[in-house]
Amino acid sequence: MTTIKIIIADTQYLVRIGLENLLSANKDFKVIGEVSNSKEMLEMVQLHQPEVVIFDYNNPKSFTMEDISVTKKISPKTNFLIISADENKSNIYKIIELGAISFLTKECDKEEIIGA
């Protein structure tokens, strides 16, 4: 099996490091970086073309929903796993329409993250 390259995009340092530690313990995943804003994410995606970006769009100063569309233009095969505290159903539907493959709340557990 091929290793899945992942970028973690979240404004919260503890979330990024926690996800990185969780995923790095699994041989099927390789975290190639973690970023705290859109500019860093787009640069890293363009450079590494990851299979997955774990993304929280729910911080307009750093990330937005539209970042998915922009990223898909530079790396069409990159998938988005959303892990967010946003529970607004219309936002969740919109983010999936924009191309996210999965949505978890920040209350999810280890098995849900690995499975997604």
pLDDT single digits (tens) 26-61:
999 999 999 999 999 999 999 999 999 999 998 888
Q: Who's near 15: CB < 8 A, 6+ residues apart?
A: 8, 56, 83, 106
This prediction has a pTM of 0.92
Examine the pLDDT at 1 and tell me if it is beyond 70.
Answer: no
Sheet holding 52-55, edge to edge: 29-35, 4-9, 52-55, 79-84, 100-105
How large is the average pLDDT for residues 10-22?
Answer: 95
- The fraction of the chain above a pLDDT of 90, given in percent, is 84
Examine the pLDDT at 75 and tell me if it is beyond 80.
Answer: yes
Q: What is the DSSP letter of 66?
A: H
Task: Tell me which amino acid residue 47 is.
Answer: L
